Every structure is written in structure tokens, then in C-alpha cells.
Amino acid sequence: LNQAAHWVLPLSPSLSRFYCSTQRGAARRLVLRLAPSVKRLICRRCCSLLLPGAGGCQRLRGRGQ
């Protein structure tokens, strides 16, 4: 599913998030460990791929200065 999420990201970011959340949910349900390299590529909050320039979420600090 990880490779499918990478392939689909430019076409449909929401489908990519679905693949990532499905992968995390299956690992959690079956009590499997994800590889550290895979865990670093998925946002814990929104399940999007964290690739430079391709997607992900950003956290802004401060109050809109």
C-alpha cells in the first residue's frame, strides 16, 4: 500500500491518505510493526505522505503575526 500511495499522490491526495490510513489501521488491528522508514513518511495526525514538495501538513507556531 505504501508504493500505491506514492504513485497516486500527484493524482489524488485524498486517495493517498486513504491508502496510508488503511495501512496503519491494518497494522494496528493485526498487531504488526511498521518499519521505521514507513512510519516517518506518514503523518500521525492526518495520514498524509510527508514528502518534500509533494504533500503533508505544516504546523504554524505563534498567532498569525
Residue 33 inside a domain? The answer is yes
pLDDT of residue 55: 58
Residue 46 inside a domain? The answer is no
Residue 65 inside a domain? The answer is no
Residue 47 inside a domain? The answer is no
CA distances from 60 to 5, 39, 57 (A): 26, 22, 10
Closest listed residue to residue 37, CA positions, set 22, 54, 49, 19: 49
Residue 54 inside a domain? The answer is no
Number of domains the chain contains: 1
Residue-wise pLDDT tens digits, 34-64: 999 899 889 898 888 888 766 555 666 666 5
Q: Give the range of the structural domain holding residue 34, as residue numbers without chain letter.
A: 1-41
Residue-wise pLDDT tens digits, 6-19: 888 888 888 999 99
Residue 45: phi and psi, rounded to 5, are -85, -50
Residue 34 inside a domain? The answer is yes
Cell of 12: 489524488
Question: Whole-model pTM?
Answer: 0.74
